[in-house]
Structure 1
Amino acid sequence: MNKPEKLSDAQRSTALAELTAHGWQVGEDRDAISKTFTFGDFNEAFGWMTRVALIAEHMNHHPEWSNVYKTVKVTLSTHDVGGLSALDIAMATKMDRLAG
């Protein structure tokens, strides 16, 4: 498996334009993106988290997240590179797709 690399300015600009259009926010205090997902109830939120966890394990890239009832708050950043990498963009895209 290739070691992730921090996004270049051009890659970052392109990726963030797409993700911010879907509700992702750029971190103010660190090089990360975050989003709050709201589901119909706890079961739906936890089911989504379970599906994402299986994908994250396969990608070997795990989100920072918290769940309260039907709300899941997610932060993505690649610790190995000290900021955003293609792994974060791929994970965010997969999360959005699974959330519908």
Structure 2
Amino acid sequence: MADLLDDAAITGRLRELPGWTRDGASIRRRVKAPSFMGGIELVGEVARAAEEADHHPDIDIRWRNVTFTLSTHSAGGLTGRDFDLAARIDAAAARHGAE
């Protein structure tokens, strides 16, 4: 099981990920894709990365707006795995032209 991060570590990791915010035991980011299909393609890329990492975000799709929420449920909060996947989501969003 991954180790929970303390508040100072979470704050530090969030500084490295503009656009992500803490919501209790989760981190969240909403991006706006250039089109509905662009958002779906982004979700597909994130789904493949999540499978590879064996760490799965909650994903909410509303037209061009896609919200990703991360938490390590098995650990009961935030771990390094959440921030590692958040960085991969950011890279995918940039490749897909999401704001």
Which residue does the alignment assign to 2:72? 78
- C-alpha distance in structure 2 between counterparts of 1:70 and 1:10, whole Å: 33
**2:11 aligned with 1:23:** no
Which residue does the alignment assign to 1:4? 2
- C-alpha distance in structure 2 between counterparts of 1:9 and 1:38, whole Å: 29
Question: The residue matched to 2:44 in structure 1 has which SS?
Answer: helix
- C-alpha distance in structure 2 between counterparts of 1:13 and 1:68, whole Å: 28
Which residue does the alignment assign to 1:13? 11
| Shift, 1:10, TM fit | 4.0
Per mean C-alpha deviation after superposition, the further-off stretch among 51-60 and 10-19 is 10-19
Which residue does the alignment assign to 1:93? 87
| Shift, 1:24, TM fit | 0.7
Q: Deviations over 1:10-66 (max 9, x none)?
A: 4323202222xx111110xx3111111101111100000000100100111000111
Question: The residue matched to 2:60 in structure 1 has which SS?
Answer: strand
State the aligned residue count. 94
Moved over 4 A (4+): none
Question: The residue matched to 1:47 in structure 2 has which SS?
Answer: helix
Structure 2: 5+ residue stretches without partners = 95-99
Question: The residue matched to 1:98 in structure 2 has which SS?
Answer: helix
- C-alpha distance in structure 2 between counterparts of 1:98 and 1:81, whole Å: 26
Question: The residue matched to 2:87 in structure 1 has which SS?
Answer: helix
TM-score (norm 2): 0.88
Matches within 5 A, 1:52-67: 52-67=46-61
